[in-house]
Chains A and B, each alone.
Chain A
Amino acid sequence: MTFFYFFAAVAVLASLLVIAQRNPIYSVLLLIASFGALSGLYVLLDAPFVAVIQIIVYAGAIMVLFLFVVMLLNAPHEETEHDERVHPLLRPGPMRFGGLLAVALVLELVWALVKANESGRFGSAAVSSVATIGRLLFTDYAFAFEVTSVLILAAMVGAVVLARREEWR
């Protein structure tokens, strides 16, 4: 229980700070911290496979891609029509409305969950073996797995086509 609250607090705090940073580099690094906390939660949920790929794929690959692009673009300042010195979360108008909408969303979701009251204690039967997951991936989910590879190929080609320079066309 203590571990749960620790990881939950780290995840929520880091995520809040992600959207409160002016400089995207700090946002990316804080998001990596948030993913680390989520990985701990996956371990608590007896899902070591997900915990490991959360670190390797998400924190290791996707976030490095983000970090690479942030450093490549080198544009730390958020240009708006608003005063640069005002914190991004405190700017008036539609942004404040968006914040209200998010608060309403979290209130509504928590309310619905409390009403539903999934009191469920977790049963003892946990599927934590990587072998089970691998077998399922290549039997029941074989088609989805293969389609995923096509998706990755399409994304790769799309990224290369989108990001290359004009004069090469």
Chain B
Amino acid sequence: MPSPSLNDYLVLSAILFAIGVAGVFVRRNVITILLSIEIMLNAVNLTFVAFGRALGSADGQIIVFFVMTVAAAEAAVGLAIVINLFRHKESLNPDTFTELRW
């Protein structure tokens, strides 16, 4: 069997990204939506590492390092917002957060 090519990794990454997109579109739970965003970030990370490997460069891995930092910051702030929303609404359904709707 041939070893996996760059294309195989890119296809896998595309599938994972689409799963994340589907999660954001389909689910009505703020925590699951945040988890879907994490899936998408990881799909992109896989692309970065695969391209870095194909180009023989360490830059892909360094970008992944930064993406992970941003993901950590996003998770911390996002979850703080979720806690606050749950405290006010007793619900995790994004359809109930309509105060800003005109």
Q: Are B72 and A62 in contact (CB under 8 A)?
A: yes
**A162 adjacent to chain B (CB < 8 Å):** yes
Our pick among B4, B28, B69, B95 for the contact of A152 (Cβ within 8 Å) is: B69
Kindly count the residue-residue contacts between A and B in the assembled complex, taking CB atoms under 8 Å apart: 249
Q: Are B77 and A162 in contact (CB under 8 A)?
A: yes
Number of interface residues of B (CB under 8 A): 75
In angstroms, Cα B14 to Cα A34, docked, is: 15
Q: Are A99 and B61 in contact (CB under 8 A)?
A: no
Which residues from 37 to 84 on chain B have a C-beta closer than 8 Å to any C-beta of chain A?
A: 38-39, 42, 45-46, 49-50, 52-54, 56-62, 64-66, 68-77, 79-84
Q: Are B49 and A50 in contact (CB under 8 A)?
A: yes
Our pick among A105, A120, A127, A152 for the contact of B73 (Cβ within 8 Å) is: A152
In angstroms, Cα B72 to Cα A75, docked, is: 23
Q: Which residues of B contact A33 (CB under 8 A)?
A: none
Q: Are B80 and A162 in contact (CB under 8 A)?
A: yes
Chain A residues touching B, majority SS: helix
> Assuming the A-B contacts A89-B26, A136-B58, are A122 and B35 also in contact, with contact meaning beta carbons closer than 8 angstroms in the complex?
no
Could you mark each residue 70-102 of chain B with 1 if its beta carbon is under 8 Å from any beta carbon of chain A, else 0?
A: 111111110111111010000111011000000
In angstroms, Cα B76 to Cα A156, docked, is: 7
Q: Are B79 and A69 in contact (CB under 8 A)?
A: yes
Q: Are B77 and A27 in contact (CB under 8 A)?
A: no
> Assuming the A-B contacts A34-B39, A50-B45, are A102 and B22 also in contact, with contact meaning beta carbons closer than 8 angstroms in the complex?
yes
Q: Which residues of A contact B71 (CB under 8 A)?
A: 58, 62
Q: Are B25 and A101 in contact (CB under 8 A)?
A: yes
> Assuming the A-B contacts A34-B42, A118-B7, are A102 and B25 also in contact, with contact meaning beta carbons closer than 8 angstroms in the complex?
yes
Q: Are B6 and A120 in contact (CB under 8 A)?
A: yes
Query: Which A residues contact B (CB, under 8 angstroms)?
Result: 1-2, 4, 8, 11-12, 15-16, 18-19, 21, 24, 27-28, 31, 34-35, 38, 41-42, 44-47, 49-50, 53-54, 57-58, 61-62, 65-66, 69-70, 72-73, 75, 78-81, 88-89, 94-95, 97-99, 101-103, 105-106, 109-110, 113-114, 117-123, 125-127, 132-133, 136-137, 141, 144, 148, 151-152, 154-156, 158-160, 162-163
**7 shortest A-B CB distances, which residue pairs?**
A98-B25, A102-B22, A155-B73, A109-B14, A19-B23, A106-B18, A125-B56
14 A-B pairs within 8 Å (CB atoms) are namely A8-B12, A27-B35, A57-B68, A57-B72, A69-B79, A73-B92, A101-B21, A109-B18, A114-B7, A118-B6, A121-B5, A137-B62, A155-B73, A162-B81
